[in-house]
Structure 1
Amino acid sequence: MFVGFRKNNIIVSVGVSLTLLLIGCNDSKASQCQRLIKTVNDGNSLVEINKGTQVATSLKLAKDLQAATEKIEQLNLQDPKLKEYQTRFVKVFTTLSQNINKAGKALNTAKSAEASTSGRKQIQTARSEIDNALKAAEIAAKQLDVLGTQVNKYCSQPE
């Protein structure tokens, strides 16, 4: 009788362990939302902190945004809608990173231009590149705002 009790105890323990393991591995929508929103907010705060900074900081910001993009990309989301948002956030952060990098490099070119005719041409070209990069970054930032609103709306819906 003692052996039978012990055998049933083991079966129940294994069953409970498997159930807890399955529940733990199955992220809820709310949990996935929290992870996505936190990671996106971390990346977004990089932009807010570094607004209007100089070349070295802009180039570092571009690298930091790329790292944030990779973190967003690596989130293991199961919810199909959140995976779609994740893909869209990756695209937006990639665009931000690339354009901030372009603007930083163009600003560096403008700063190092000589006071000459060719230097003025370099500055004009750099100014154009900066303007184009900042316009693209502004569009991406607006997309980021729209995506944030959409994710918040989706995540606030009951499961």
Structure 2
Amino acid sequence: MNFKFRRVVTLLTFVTLLTSLTACAGSRKTQCRKLIEVVDQGNRAIATQDSSNGATTLRLAQELNLVANQMEELYLTNGRLKKIRVGFTEVFREFAIALNEMGQALEAGEKSPISVEGRTELVKAIEKVNQVSQQTSPMSEKAETLMADMTKYCPPESLQPEEPDPSK
């Protein structure tokens, strides 16, 4: 009797756990919406920041790193969405690293004295900014590819909130 009771309790615990895990992840539509929200957060950060000086560029790098962390922590069960999430995590993280380098170079250029040595420092800073800018081109292409995949896989209805199921 005790053995049967344990078995039933174990089975019920397993079913409850499975149900709660599945419910946490939600439907494909819900997972798409979650992914789109985090991607939009990163895209808004990029679009609204003025990256013409070192301080704002460094701030944007920090913000994108936070978005990459959020993306990494996003719980998705759908295989294709997981793959897209991993790709965007890499893109935002790589952009953050590049912007951090660019911000440091911009700050070095801003702090360079008005002298021959300062001019040399400024030229080095400009070269570094140009070099980092060129390195971001493949990241931009990867982001565009991921965005196209996400748009194909997540229909426009994904942006609308789900209506409650009347049968529940």
| TM-score, normalising length: structure 2 | 0.75
Contact persistence 1:100–1:137 (CA under 8 A): no
Distance 1:111 1:26 in 2: 47
> Residue 90 of structure 1 aligns to which amino acid in structure 2?
T
Match of 2:3 in 1: none
Q: CA RMSD in A?
A: 2.3
Match of 1:45 in 2: 44
Segments of 4+ in structure 1 off by > 4 A? 18-23
Alpha-carbon distance, 1:52 to partner: 3.9
- The count of aligned residue pairs is 142
Change (3 A) 1:24 1:118: same
Instruction: Classify the secondary structure of the residue corresponding to 2:152.
Output: helix
Q: Which has the larger radius of gyration?
A: 1
Q: Percent identity?
A: 26
Match of 2:79 in 1: 80
Match of 2:95 in 1: 96
Match of 2:146 in 1: 147
> Residue 122 of structure 2 aligns to which amino acid in structure 1?
I
- Structure 1 segments unaligned to the other structure (5+ residues): 1-13
Alpha-carbon distance, 1:120 to partner: 1.9
Distance 1:21 1:113 in 2: 58
Alpha-carbon distance, 1:115 to partner: 2.3
| TM-score, normalising length: structure 1 | 0.79
Change (3 A) 1:25 1:103: closer
Distance 2:137 2:21 in 1: 43
Superposed, 1:61-76 pairs within 5 Å as 61-76=60-75
Match of 2:35 in 1: 36
> Residue 64 of structure 1 aligns to which amino acid in structure 2?
E
CA deviation profile, 1:113-142 (whole Å, cap 9, x unmatched):
122232222111111110111222343233
- Structure 2 segments unaligned to the other structure (5+ residues): 1-11, 157-168
> Residue 53 of structure 2 aligns to which amino acid in structure 1?
Q
